[in-house]
Amino acid sequence: MCGTKQAAINGHSSSSSHSCIEAKENGVTKKLPSDSVINLDHGDPKMFESYWRRMGDNCAVVITGWQSLSYFSDITSLCWFLEPELAEEVRRLHRLVGNAVTEDRHIVVGTGSTQLFQAALYALSSPDADEPMSVVSAAPYYSSYPTLTEFLRSRLYRWAGDAHGFDGDKPYIELVTSPNNPDGFTRKTVINRRGGKVVYDLAYYWPQYTPITIQADHDLMLFTVSKSTGHAGSRIGWALVKDKEVAKKMTKFIELNTIGVSKDSQVRAAKLLRAVSDSCKQLGSQGSVNFFDNFRRLMINRWECLRNVIRGNDLFTLPEYPKEFCNFAGEFTEAHPAFAWLKFKEEIKDSESFLRAHKILTRSGKHFGVNKTYVRISMLDREENFEILLERLSKISAKQQENGPSLRAS
Ligand SMILES: Cc1ncc(COP(=O)(O)O)c(C=O)c1O
């Protein structure tokens, strides 16, 4: 069963004016018109809301008027604006999940991993070089990399596109997102040249999305609460950095950019990470459910539903993921990524526009360095929107089977 208790679809036709979705928002049941546009363009992690709502006040943070006044958190630490309790919870959670080595690593906190990404480019490029350093990533790559890299037209670095096409012998920075946004596959470097610098963006390397097969041990790794606990609005990310000088330069970038990172957000993030770790150890409040088991099950269920809906149609396809042993779950499992990377058959030249005509907003493959037959769809929205997505894709699919390939949006 793909429906949930949280959202119930009444009526069967999206064109019916009486058709509606009952959805709970902030505990209040609202009726949404089922023909409303659903925005699955961003990876906004609203799916996590219901879990945290169930945790109630256990994860509330009270910050009184006299707290968080100073700019400084720990002047003995290389990253002087990092709250010690956040550092402790970051190390604890990585140890528990087994997804990254934290021993002998410097932690640098950032306003989201987006700020850390920019700090990493600054730290890895050479100020004295004759020309800007090339920044590359294998397509399909995360759509923000080109825009973030080019935004300030820096003399330190420049966007050089798909890593597969990089053939210069000049210094470069390769961005490796694993599992990858948008397609969910595990990734490695593609250039592998001596002296090449690499940033590993491991935003999705958590058990709800992918099997945890190794403890990542790279020189520079980025993580974020946006995709791990679902608190994108708190804007907290962290970097695990092997080299002290690189960590110092990243810290300097953040000092000059925002003079540190909100202490209030760090304290909140620490509390949330602690709650996640406690839930894994069943130490939490009574009835607290293992966070990762809960979201692994939810993602498995969503992917099963999505695959059922598209089964039997030849209009679009989804990637298939290999089964691998997940050290965290203790079983063989496949990936259940945060995004569905849908490929339409060639006659749908612009699949983003095609889905928009069906009131589903997605992000076109062109933003990820590939063609427009691909679209990325967020799998992290609230249950009611996910239900509408299934309903609409299933209608498109049924119509295609009825009408054949010349399907047009109604
Ligand atoms: C691969 C990847 N890295 C980084 C980010 C941004 O993370 P943050 O919200 O921590 O800035 C995202 C957000 O979608 C992402 O997909």
| pLDDT tens, residue by residue, 148-194 | 999 999 999 999 999 999 987 899 999 999 999 999 999 999 999 98
With residue 360 as reference, give the H or E element that holds it. strand 360-361
Burial of 403 (0-12, 13-18, 19+ CB in 10 A): exposed
Is 96 in the same domain as 39? no
In whole angstroms, what is the distance from residue 104 CA to residue 145 CA?
28
Is 324 in the same domain as 270? no
**Ligand 1: which of 224, 235, 257 to mutate, judged by most atoms within 8 Å of the beta carbon?**
224
Burial of 197 (0-12, 13-18, 19+ CB in 10 A): buried
Q: Do 71 and 260 form a contact (C-beta atoms < 8 A)?
A: yes
Is 18 in the same domain as 112? no
Mean pLDDT computed over every residue of the chain: 90
Q: What number is the average pLDDT over the span 339-353?
A: 94
In whole angstroms, what is the distance from residue 193 CA to residue 342 CA?
32
Is 30 in the same domain as 100? no
In whole angstroms, what is the distance from residue 119 CA to residue 344 CA?
37
Lowest mean pLDDT among 10-19, 41-50, 138-147, 232-241: 10-19
In a domain, 362, yes or no: yes
- pLDDT tens column, 209-258: 999 999 999 999 999 999 999 999 999 999 999 999 999 999 999 999 99
Strands 197-201 and 220-224: parallel
Within a 13 Å sphere around the CA of 174, how many CA atoms are in the beta-carbon half?
26
- Kindly state the tokens that stand for 190: 């593609």
Is 223 in the same domain as 88? yes
In whole angstroms, what is the distance from residue 289 CA to residue 277 CA?
11
- pLDDT tens column, 100-109: 999 999 999 9
In a domain, 56, yes or no: no
Q: How far is the CA of 391 from the centre of ligand 1 (A)?
A: 28
All residues at 6 or more sequence positions from 57 whose CB lies less than 8 Å from its CB, including other chains? none
Is 90 in the same domain as 223? yes
Is 23 in the same domain as 88? no
Lowest mean pLDDT among 50-54, 247-251, 288-292: 288-292
In a domain, 55, yes or no: no
Is 219 in the same domain as 339? no
Is 271 in the same domain as 322? no
Output the ligand 1 site: residues, CB below 6 A.
Answer: 43, 112-114, 142, 177, 181, 201, 203, 224, 226, 232, 237
Is 115 in the same domain as 259? yes
Predicted ipTM beyond 0.85? yes
- What is the model's pLDDT at position 282? 80
In a domain, 96, yes or no: yes
Nearest CA to ligand 1 atom 7: 113
State the sign of the Cα–Cα–Cα–Cα dihedral 99, 104, 110, 115.
negative
Q: How far is the CA of 339 from the centre of ligand 1 (A)?
A: 13
CA distances from 19 to 38, 260, 360, 393 (A): 15, 49, 17, 17
Q: Do 107 and 238 form a contact (C-beta atoms < 8 A)?
A: yes
In a domain, 72, yes or no: no
How many C-beta neighbours within 10 Å does residue 300 have? 14
| Tally of domains within the chain | 2
- Kindly state the tokens that stand for 67: 């707290």
**Ligand 1: which of 181, 183, 379 to mutate, judged by most atoms within 8 Å of the beta carbon?**
181
What is the span of the domain harbouring residue 343?
A: 8-45+313-402
